[in-house]
Amino acid sequence: MRDQAPTQPEPTLLRFSTQPHRFYAGIDRHARTLPRCVLDQAGTIVTDKHLPGPFDSLLEALAPFRDDLVVGVECRFGWYGLADRCAEHSLPFVLGHARSRKLLHGAKAKNDKSDANKIARLLRGGNLPLASV
């Protein structure tokens, strides 16, 4: 009887958000600040700012884009509070898988402003790996 080779575990399939929207907001969530970047359908930066931590300041900043906006956040500290507040205000919310996203963009420069921009760009392109909310 021959020795059988060990079976390999099934690969985990990544899920992506591919639904088109008019605006894509990438938010790099921190304890006291909300760096955010909003792109339009063409990928043009509509606004790119650092906001104080309260959700109300984010809601006010996103007001001009609310007609067809999706909010993307990396799965890190504090995302659950932001997800709850987005749900309360009927804002579509996408949670990006932090580890998989890191593999995708592989950038050398890492800072809050560029992270928010990358989240928005990956979301717009349908390349933001999803985590479960």
Q: Over the stretch 9-34, which tens digit does the pLDDT of each residue have? A: 455 566 787 889 999 999 887 767 88
15-34 as b/e, with b when 16 or more CB fall inside 10 Å?
Answer: ebbeeebebbbbbbbeeeeb
pTM of the predicted model as reported, rounded to 2 decimal places: 0.79
Residue 51: per-residue pLDDT:
84
The conformation of residue 124, written as its DSSP 8-state character, comes to: H
Residue 6: per-residue pLDDT:
57
Q: Which one, of 28, 57, 26, 60, lies nearest residue 43 by Cα? A: 26
Question: What stretch of H or E contains 103?
Answer: helix 98-105
What confidence category does residue 113 fall into, taking pLDDT thresholds of 50, 70 and 90?
A: low
Q: In sequence order, what are the beta bridge partners of 45?
A: 39
47-59 as b/e, with b when 16 or more CB fall inside 10 Å?
Answer: ebeebeeebeebe
Q: Retrieve residue 120's tokens.
A: 């928005």
